[in-house]
Amino acid sequence: MSATDPKQLASTIVRDDEAQLVSAAKAGDAAAFEELVNRYERKIFRLGMNITQNREDAEDVMQDAFLKAFKNLDRFQGDSRFYTWLVRIAVNEALMKLRKRRPNQVSLDEPLTEEDNSVFREIEDWGPSPEQKFAQTELNEILTQVIGELDPIFRVVFLLRDVEGISTEETAQIVGISVAAVKSRLLRARLKLRQKLNKYFRRSETQ
């Protein structure tokens, strides 16, 4: 699929105009669809890795998401960004993988009734640049581990909002929950991650 040089394509299609690329792809322009793939493949792979915590699953998620997007391109109405639509497909694929692995543990409809009163249990400052206590590889391992410990209902919302930078409203659409539920899950996800990172980053932690 390397016949089309993305740089060459950029000269004919305005690079930042996603809508134009989508229209061209809809009209059967394979190079335009490939440009969309080039643009988002890394992000979709990262999202798949972060949700499934498994490289093979992440590869399947990415491949299936792009193939489904291509197959269903005609159904894409353009009322949301192409990237948001693609993320929705990828999130569904990733959650299906998790459900297959742990069928009774993954539900995004789970009501949130438990009140988290543990916020003030561990209050310790981390200092100005706590991440500098660790080498990059070690830090990546810590982040992968703590995000993997998070329940999927919190993990997905945190990843979409805080890592992918998708808006609260778009996250609600993608996950199929209300804006209020996104906010509530995001709060809990952030607090849980803070608590999990506390043992690595607190000032008193010796290396």
Partner 1 sequence: MNCKKVILELTSYLDGVLDAGVRIDLEQHLARCKDCRVVVDTTRKTIQIFCNSEPVPLPDDVRERLHTALLERFRRNSKTT
Size of the site for partner 1 (CB under 8 A): 47
147 binds partner 1 (CB under 8 A): yes
| Residue range at the interface with partner 1 (CB under 8 A); choices 16-24, 59-67, 76-84, 102-110 | 59-67
- Residue 25 · residue 32 · CB < 8 Å: yes
33 binds partner 1 (CB under 8 A): yes
Geometric angle at alpha carbon 47, from 43 and 48, rounded to 5°: 115
- Residue 186 · residue 158 · CB < 8 Å: yes
Shortest Cβ distance from residue 19 to partner 1 (Å)? 21
| Residue range at the interface with partner 1 (CB under 8 A); choices 94-102, 104-112, 169-177, 194-202 | 194-202
Tokens 């109405």 -> residue: 77
62 binds partner 1 (CB under 8 A): yes
Q: Which amino acid is at 81?
A: R
Joined together, the tokens standing for residue 124 give 């310790």
Interface with partner 1 in residues 64-103 (CB under 8 A): 66-67, 70-71
For partner 1, the binding residues (CB under 8 A) are 1-2, 28, 30, 33-34, 37, 41-42, 45-46, 49-50, 55, 59, 62-63, 66-67, 70-71, 119-120, 123-126, 130-131, 136, 139-140, 143, 147, 158, 162-163, 183, 186-187, 190-191, 193-194, 197-198, 201
